[in-house]
Chain A
Amino acid sequence: MRTPSITRETESRRHFIERLARATLGVSVAGSPFAGKVFGQGAPAAAPLADHCILLLMTGGMPHLDTFDPKPGKTEVMGPTGVVDSAITGEPFADTIPLLAKQAGKLAVIRNMYQKTADHQQATYTMRTSYAMIPSIVHPTMGPWAQQLLGRKNATLPDSVTIGSGVGHPGAGFMAPEFSPMPVDSADRGVQNMKPSGYDLKRTDWIPEYEATLKRRLDLAAKLDETFQQEVKHEKVAAYTQFYDETLKFLRSEDLKLFDLNEEKDEVRDRYGRTPIGQGCLLAKRLVKGGVRFVEVTHGNWDTHIDNFERLPDLAGRLDMAASNLIADLEAEGLLGRTLVVIATEFGRTPHINGNEGRDHHSLAFSCVLAGGGVKGGQIIGKTDATGDRTEGEPYEPKHLNATIAHALGMDLNKVIYSPSGRPFTVSTHKMEGEKVVSDAGPILEAFS
């Protein structure tokens, strides 16, 4: 033991107690005065550049050479992948993403991304949280961070939503459950159980009957629960009564329709592509328009150890169709200026083409892309060497990318938030400066105009 201290001893306990109080008081309902106000205060560092963020996460490892960082003419690393001119003069994209190439004037392509690990799970975790994965804690993802540092965005809608993220999303990490993103497993189906099981939903006349049944049953439940609720005036019990009210409000609100892609015309849904990423992007646009702050859409299966070139047109094509329509529609609807769109992946893939016509994991150099939300489009940030094997100069890591998102949304990078056990964290990794905990990564400032 190096520095015996008495005053610091109670610090961790105090933060634990704060959190316990929040749980005990059951204040995790939408619109709670506690969320982001009493416990998570923190003034924005600067005037925010964006109000929303849509993160498109390519899981499995998107090959940078076959997308945003091709090496024209170098067939030994490019294989059959060709290039197309992009809207940035002299900077072609791979021919797998022609639509995004046309929109390059709105994109800032970061080509010098770097990760310390080439393990899918750990690298994806770091991309979502900035931190390395360790067993003793789960770090929060960017949506919960934004809610924590900036406060809830609106009363009834969730602050953040994940679409198709599946198992293993770190969610709110150590933060209280009210910061958890609302998970949507499939954009086609919307929020789980948002429609009642047992009704023929293809018919349109179920709603009045369902409403009548629901009302009859809820009234009965309320009457039979009267004695208990009178005798047990516990905050937790009251909180659940409030949750029932909130849920019914949500079910009967227009908000629910935001999650329902059936509200969109077929023509629009087709335009994005009838794929998880396509419908995910369309849902993300709807949610952002409705006021949700942070939406993550996952597009998987990029792990092309085998038959990379056979699979790439489809994988990249889906992204191309979805993301280009997303950006175009956001712009057409006047939302792009205040919505940061990020295309990220946990790592790239090797320039070397393996014996199975595939590419293996490559964390030493890869590309991510920014658009909208104050980003200066039409630029390339950083570069890789002649074969796309290594970055040139200081690379950027996931923590810098997340610091960039935080910066755009107006989060205070140095604001310390404590885990239940009293451990301090900041949004894009931390370090100690003497006894002070400060941010360990700054934003990629050149991305902004």
Chain B
Amino acid sequence: MGRRLAGLLAGCLLAWTPLLSHAELRQWTDQDGRSVEAEYIKVEAGQVHLRLPDARVVPFPFARLSAADQEYVRKLFKLSPASLAAEVDALVNKKLAAEKVTPNPRTTDEQFVRRAYLEITGTIPNFNQTLDFLESTDPEKRRKLVDTLLDSPGYVSHSFNWYADLLRLVSRTNDFYIFEHYLDWVKESIRENKPYDQFVRELVTAEGRMWDDPAAGYFIRDRGMALGNLATTVTIFLGTEITCAECHDHPFEDWTQMDFYSLAAFLGQRQDRIYGKEWGEKLTRERGRIEAEQRKRDPSLGPEGYVQPFRLVISANEQQVWDDPQKALKLPNTYKYDDGKPGDLVEPRTLFGDPVDISKYESPRHAFAAWLTAKENPMFAKTAVNRLWKRAFGLALHEPMGNVQDIQKSQNPELFTFLESAFKDLNFNVKEMLRAIYYTEAWQRQATLEGPTLVEVEGNRYHFPGPVLKRMSSQQLWDSFLTLTLPDPMRFKRDVSGPLTELIKFEVENITGEDSVRRLEALNQLMSRTIYNGAPSLELWREESTATDTETDSYLKFSGSYLARASELPQPAPSGHFLRAWGQGDRSLVDGASDNGSIPQILTMINGPFTQMLIKPDSLIFKTAGGERGTGDKMEKIFLSILNRYPQGKEKAICSRAIRSDDEGYGDLIWALVNTREFLFIR
């Protein structure tokens, strides 16, 4: 039977469309009882598109499917990005109508292409990308662009910056406490679009060293501060603020110190490093042996020789997440409430939702992870969609995001509820949730030109007539500068965890003195190439380091800074870097990035080296301005490159009066355009 239906469908080969990760290979049956194994792709014009095991995609009339299959398709159809977007638009528009607010006008194509690239891939589009979109006559071109961008490497880079701010990602916390594996794992999770609940579960349940289980970095990041790590976990994943309760009953919320400790008790056995008498003795013994071998190799080795630094390498090997069955959480010495005494053992208890039966899980920690990420957890999906909405619209449905107390006190409770259930139905598929949001008319409207005012935010009276006007983030600005300079800013990706593992991974009893010296030298070399560097040196800009004369090198450098996307630079960029001036946080604070202005920012724009980089004749913008493509003159191409729009007649007149038609004149124009507010803000 299956064979016959498959034969019927064959020949109607269609183009591939993005696969929904929640679709599955299943048995389909038509009304005549014939069946076939296939995956659901989409519904279009009454036809259900199915992907056969041999990867062919074929349409089949919806009306001829069995009743059960029709029901299945209906459910999936509702979860298609177009359907979700329609529902979101309906809820936004309903609210706008009820409140008698006029929605903002639709973005022009020029505004849309700029926003889509910036918000999905983290940079302005380059000249060719801008022109491709503007010249396309495809009526579906906006959604097609969204699809393309969501599958581009830029999406991974931009999402990484978002997670970096949320998870406080750092490249290292000490000489050899290096988080490269963990950072790579975050990028890889984004690339494969790992379901959000699985991502969070892996963070919490990780075990081992970072090169064995990279998600261990989440806990090692906060080494020695297990309780603080928990408070942060609850803030970022459950939108609940319990931090004060670590030391005393929360002054403004209802959480008690006992609530805090009861939750922490689930994680009471988790450790961030190896310890114990046996381990300590082994270390002392092996360090002595390594030192003796090192001296044999080089008798002149002083006390500052290799021994001391290599101790740090050994320490890095101590970093490991594991559960010590001997440990259990006790109330602190300072505990002063009636429901317990200092030193009392604490029973694990969740903050809200259903009680958890620990015996059903591998460990209390796994029980905690399951409770945290369950669809039944009242806060998990809610907190996530609130954050995703803010990512797209610039203001969360509920502010502050770390303390979502009551969904009814949000900008649009009905919309909030819908998004929450949709995200669960999508099985926490982040990319599909974003796709649906980017498909909406609401997101494709122009940014609101005034406000939201204090009153609107506080009184929940911002009804999203369009996104909030945003300043480019530090990363968007830096990455856009690269887009203007380099043909392929994504060329340089950070990829050091492989060689790093080779050097740093060893069993302490198996390493020789010789080997320890070799590893340390190689490690230092690797780290000076990749981890320590990336700062623009504060030295004055040197003429010889131009944007293209080092193309043979594996990195391009300008004024001491590697010209790689912000996601590929050290996390965070070093103090003094362009990115830091523009508000990249130091990653000690959740959502620590800032879009506030400062004098040092403006100094980077008017005096700093990177504006000079743009106006060097070998930057991409100069090359495209002199290229064949496009109808207008150099000036028009410069406008299209920087502001992603054609110049108006008035502006042409200004330029022809003000600038000379030589490199210096066009340099002035480039300088001027990147120093406009129009460049800095996303309309």
Q: Could you list which residues of chain A lie within 8 angstroms of chain B, going by C-beta atoms?
A: 1-5, 8-9, 11-14, 16-17, 20-21, 23-24, 26, 28-30, 119, 121-122, 133-138, 166-170, 173-174, 176-178, 180, 182-183, 185-186, 189, 191-198, 201, 214, 216-221, 223-225, 227-229, 231-237, 239-241, 243-244, 246-247, 250-251, 305-307, 356-358, 420-424, 431-432, 435, 437
**Chain A to chain B: the 7 pairs with minimum beta-carbon distance, closest first:** A247-B602, A193-B603, A228-B678, A225-B676, A221-B672, A220-B672, A1-B254
22 A-B pairs with CB atoms under 8 Å apart are: A1-B256, A9-B252, A12-B241, A13-B405, A16-B403, A20-B454, A23-B596, A122-B224, A135-B229, A135-B231, A136-B231, A136-B243, A178-B596, A191-B603, A193-B603, A223-B654, A224-B651, A224-B676, A232-B469, A236-B469, A246-B602, A306-B308
Q: Is the CB of B597 within 8 A of A197?
A: no
A397 shortest CB reach to chain B, Å: 16
Question: Given contacts A136-B243, A192-B600, A220-B659, is CB(A228)–CB(B252) below 8 Å?
Answer: no
Q: Is the CB of B252 within 8 A of A12?
A: yes
- Label chain B's interface by main secondary structure: loop
Q: Is the CB of A217 within 8 A of B671?
A: yes
Whole-angstrom CA separation of A29 from B243 in the bound complex: 32
Among A23, A30, A220, A243, residue most surrounded by chain B Cβ atoms (within 10 Å): A220
- B457 — which chain A residues lie within 8 A by C-beta? 17, 20-21, 24
Whole-angstrom CA separation of A443 from B671 in the bound complex: 52
Cross-interface CB contact of B607 among A5, A197, A239, cutoff 8 Å: A197
Interface string of B313-356 (1 = CB under 8 A from A): 00000000000000000000000010000000000000000000
Q: Is the CB of B449 within 8 A of A193?
A: no
Whole-angstrom CA separation of A141 from B248 in the bound complex: 23
Cross-interface CB contact of A198 among B246, B600, B609, B669, cutoff 8 Å: B609
- B174 closest partner in A (C-beta): A121
Q: Is the CB of B658 within 8 A of A220?
A: yes
Q: Is the CB of B677 within 8 A of A198?
A: no
Q: Is the CB of B576 within 8 A of A192?
A: yes
Among A182, A192, A228, A422, residue most surrounded by chain B Cβ atoms (within 10 Å): A192
- A30 — which chain B residues lie within 8 A by C-beta? 599
Knowing that A28-B598, A177-B596 are A-B contacts, what are 16 other residue pairs whose CB atoms are under 8 Å apart, sorted by A's residue number?
A: A2-B258, A12-B252, A13-B400, A20-B454, A119-B224, A135-B222, A135-B225, A135-B228, A167-B574, A220-B669, A228-B678, A234-B451, A234-B681, A246-B599, A246-B602, A356-B303
Q: Is the CB of B658 within 8 A of A223?
A: yes
A313 shortest CB reach to chain B, Å: 17
Q: Is the CB of B450 within 8 A of A233?
A: yes
Among A13, A122, A227, residue most surrounded by chain B Cβ atoms (within 10 Å): A13
B580 shortest CB reach to chain A, Å: 9
Q: Is the CB of A170 within 8 A of B596?
A: no
- B590 closest partner in A (C-beta): A136
Q: Is the CB of B678 within 8 A of A307?
A: no
Q: Is the CB of A421 within 8 A of B458?
A: no
User: Which residues of B64-81 are within 8 A (CB) of A?
Assistant: none
- Interface size for B (C-beta < 8 A) is 93
- B253 — which chain A residues lie within 8 A by C-beta? 8-9, 12
Cross-interface CB contact of A24 among B400, B449, B452, B575, cutoff 8 Å: B452
- B651 — which chain A residues lie within 8 A by C-beta? 224, 227
Question: Given contacts A30-B599, A193-B607, A307-B303, is CB(A232)–CB(B449) below 8 Å?
Answer: yes
Which of B30-38, B84-92, B367-375, B581-589 is the interface stretch? B581-589
Q: Is the CB of A9 within 8 A of B449?
A: no
Whole-angstrom CA separation of A204 from B668 in the bound complex: 23
- A220 — which chain B residues lie within 8 A by C-beta? 654-655, 658-659, 668-669, 672
Q: Could you list which residues of chain B lie within 8 angstroms of chain A, going by C-beta atoms?
A: 168, 173, 221-222, 224-225, 228-229, 231-232, 235, 241, 243-244, 246, 248-249, 251-256, 258-259, 303-304, 308, 337, 399-400, 402-403, 405, 449-454, 457-458, 469, 471, 538, 540-541, 559, 574-576, 581, 583, 586, 588-590, 592, 594-604, 606-609, 612, 648, 650-651, 654-655, 658-659, 668-669, 671-673, 675-678, 680-681, 683
Q: Is the CB of B248 within 8 A of A228?
A: no
Q: Is the CB of A224 within 8 A of B668?
A: no
Q: Is the CB of A224 within 8 A of B672?
A: yes
Q: Is the CB of B677 within 8 A of A134?
A: no
Q: Is the CB of A24 within 8 A of B606?
A: no
B346 shortest CB reach to chain A, Å: 16
- B224 — which chain A residues lie within 8 A by C-beta? 119, 122
Whole-angstrom CA separation of A192 from B577 in the bound complex: 10
- A194 closest partner in B (C-beta): B603
Q: Is the CB of A247 within 8 A of B603?
A: yes
Q: Is the CB of B254 within 8 A of A193?
A: no
Question: Given contacts A220-B669, A233-B450, A234-B450, is CB(A228)–CB(B677) below 8 Å?
Answer: yes
Q: Is the CB of B608 within 8 A of A174?
A: no
Question: Given contacts A193-B607, A247-B603, is CB(A240)–CB(B672) below 8 Å?
Answer: no
A291 shortest CB reach to chain B, Å: 16
- A16 — which chain B residues lie within 8 A by C-beta? 399-400, 403
- A244 — which chain B residues lie within 8 A by C-beta? 602, 675
Whole-angstrom CA separation of A24 from B229 in the bound complex: 30
Q: Is the CB of A11 within 8 A of B252?
A: yes
Q: Is the CB of B588 within 8 A of A221?
A: no
Whole-angstrom CA separation of A205 from B648 in the bound complex: 38
- A29 — which chain B residues lie within 8 A by C-beta? 597
Whole-angstrom CA separation of A136 from B248 in the bound complex: 15
- B258 — which chain A residues lie within 8 A by C-beta? 2
Whole-angstrom CA separation of A136 from B590 in the bound complex: 7
- A170 — which chain B residues lie within 8 A by C-beta? 588
A300 shortest CB reach to chain B, Å: 14
Q: Is the CB of A198 within 8 A of B541?
A: yes
Cross-interface CB contact of B681 among A11, A17, A182, A232, cutoff 8 Å: A232
Among B221, B253, B457, B601, residue most surrounded by chain A Cβ atoms (within 10 Å): B253
Whole-angstrom CA separation of A219 from B669 in the bound complex: 11
Question: Given contacts A224-B676, A422-B403, is CB(A177)–CB(B594) below 8 Å?
Answer: yes
B268 shortest CB reach to chain A, Å: 18
Whole-angstrom CA separation of A194 from B405 in the bound complex: 46
B457 shortest CB reach to chain A, Å: 6
- A3 closest partner in B (C-beta): B254
A60 shortest CB reach to chain B, Å: 14
- B559 closest partner in A (C-beta): A197
Cross-interface CB contact of B586 among A168, A193, A214, A223, cutoff 8 Å: A168
- A217 — which chain B residues lie within 8 A by C-beta? 668, 671-672, 675
- B572 closest partner in A (C-beta): A167
Among B241, B252, B540, residue most surrounded by chain A Cβ atoms (within 10 Å): B252
- A189 — which chain B residues lie within 8 A by C-beta? 538
Whole-angstrom CA separation of A243 from B599 in the bound complex: 6
Whole-angstrom CA separation of A232 from B104 in the bound complex: 13
Question: Given contacts A24-B452, A197-B607, A240-B677, is CB(A137)–CB(B589) below 8 Å?
Answer: yes
- B246 — which chain A residues lie within 8 A by C-beta? 134
- A166 — which chain B residues lie within 8 A by C-beta? 575
Whole-angstrom CA separation of A137 from B668 in the bound complex: 43
Q: Is the CB of B243 within 8 A of A423?
A: yes
Whole-angstrom CA separation of A244 from B600 in the bound complex: 10
Q: Is the CB of A133 within 8 A of B603?
A: no
- A4 — which chain B residues lie within 8 A by C-beta? 254
Whole-angstrom CA separation of A431 from B249 in the bound complex: 11
Q: Is the CB of B254 within 8 A of A2?
A: yes
Q: Is the CB of A224 within 8 A of B677?
A: no
A134 shortest CB reach to chain B, Å: 4
Whole-angstrom CA separation of A69 from B658 in the bound complex: 69
- A422 closest partner in B (C-beta): B252
Whole-angstrom CA separation of A240 from B576 in the bound complex: 20
Question: Given contacts A240-B677, A432-B248, is CB(A13)–CB(B607) below 8 Å?
Answer: no
Q: Is the CB of A234 within 8 A of B449?
A: yes
B170 shortest CB reach to chain A, Å: 10
Q: Is the CB of B603 within 8 A of A180?
A: no
Q: Is the CB of B454 within 8 A of A24?
A: yes
Question: Given contacts A174-B589, A224-B672, A224-B673, is CB(A20)–CB(B399) below 8 Å?
Answer: yes
Cross-interface CB contact of A21 among B454, B592, B659, cutoff 8 Å: B454
